[in-house]
């Protein structure tokens, strides 16, 4: 029986190998028959023979060639242009930091983060949304300043009427005035930095250097934002204390008070139109 089984297996293996070879031999014949069928007059109209070549009306993809030549400057004007280009690229790199520190964005972003923490919210609204709100509020308030910079600095420099140094002086004037106007009621930080630098007491804004005005403005904005945040925290802390006292009197010490007080804080914030009041007060705190 074992020898018979081995004989049957060998027989079937030979039959399978023969069938496989027959298929391989018949495949090119069938392809040639299909090719002849195209030339057959009885073949359907509109059929074309297959080809591996592209048509003449197909244009290849054009890849541009980027060529950068580096050579020594031939005169002082080319050296000055290279330095100006380097300064311009540096300013573009520092543009996000300048937008954050030299505008009211710093105050808005900190206050919005304070209100999020005061409401005991963890993920809603996301930080990116709050930063977007602060950014567009900054554009809304700083638009006259940006327009002044564009009309008096960028546009004349683009048209070739003034140079880079004159454009820089014209651009920093409205920004310096905006920063100084925020600190008009409290110039303690300006005096502090002037004393640290060993400079005389300034009489006007022109006597305050820019490298003194910028850090003074940053510290002033941080102080103002924290003051506003403290005022925002007070009513919500009172709600937390009341809820915690009620839970303690009822013996629910294992229940987190924040979990119970958060809906009440949200209802209070919505009923008094918190976002509208917050936006309005932030606007008036800057443009007073």
- pLDDT higher at 239 or 11: 239
> What confidence tens digit (pLDDT) does each residue in 99-152 have?
888 888 988 999 988 888 888 887 778 888 888 888 898 889 888 888 888 888
Q: Which of 47-56, 199-208, 244-253 is least confident?
A: 47-56
Question: Does the pLDDT value for residue 241 go beyond 70?
Answer: yes
Question: Does the pLDDT value for residue 264 go beyond 80?
Answer: yes
Q: Rounded to whole angstroms, what are the CA distances from 56 to 46, 48, 52, 53, 59?
A: 20, 16, 13, 9, 8
**Residue 167: what pLDDT?**
81
Question: Does the pLDDT value for residue 76 go beyond 70?
Answer: no
User: If you average pLDDT over every residue of the chain, what do you get?
Assistant: 76
Average pLDDT on 158-166 reads 76
- Within 10 angstroms of residue 30's Cβ, the number of other Cβ atoms is 10
Measured in degrees and rounded to the nearest 5, phi and psi for residue 212 equal -95, -35
**Residue 63: what pLDDT?**
67
Handedness of CA 226, 228, 232, 237 (dihedral sign): positive
pTM of the model: 0.65
Question: Does the pLDDT value for residue 32 go beyond 50?
Answer: no
């Amino acid at each position: 029986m074992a020898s018979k089984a081995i004989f049957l297996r060998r027989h079937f293996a030979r039959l399978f190998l023969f069938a496989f070879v027959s298929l391989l031999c018949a495949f090119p014949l069938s392809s040639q028959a299909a090719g002849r069928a195209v030339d057959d007059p009885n073949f359907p109209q509109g059929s074309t023979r297959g080809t591996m070549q592209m048509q003449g009306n197909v244009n290849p993809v054009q890849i541009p060639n980027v060529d950068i030549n580096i050579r020594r400057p031939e005169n002082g004007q080319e050296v000055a242009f290279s330095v100006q280009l380097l300064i311009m690229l540096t300013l573009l790199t520092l543009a996000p930091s300048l937008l954050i520190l030299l505008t009211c964005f710093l105050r808005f972003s900190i206050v919005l983060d304070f209100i999020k923490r005061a409401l005991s919210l963890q993920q809603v609204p996301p930080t990116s949304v709050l930063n977007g709100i602060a950014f567009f509020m900054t554009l809304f308030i700083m638009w006259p300043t940006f327009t002044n910079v564009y009309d008096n600095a960028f546009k004349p420099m683009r048209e070739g009427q003034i140079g880079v140094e004159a454009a820089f002086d014209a651009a920093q004037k409205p920004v310096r005035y905006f920063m100084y106007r925020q600190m008009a009621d409290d110039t303690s930080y300006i005096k502090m930095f002037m004393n640290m630098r060993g400079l005389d007491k300034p009489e006007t804004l022109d006597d305050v250097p820019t490298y003194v005005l910028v850090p003074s403005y940053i510290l002033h904005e941080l102080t103002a934002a924290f003051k506003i945040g403290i005022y925002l925290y007070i009513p919500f802390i009172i709600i937390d204390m009341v809820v915690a006292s009620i839970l303690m009197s009822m013996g629910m010490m294992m229940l987190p008070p924040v979990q119970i007080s958060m809906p009440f804080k949200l209802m209070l914030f919505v009923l008094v139109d918190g976002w509208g009041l917050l936006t309005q007060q932030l606007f008036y705190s800057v443009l007073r």
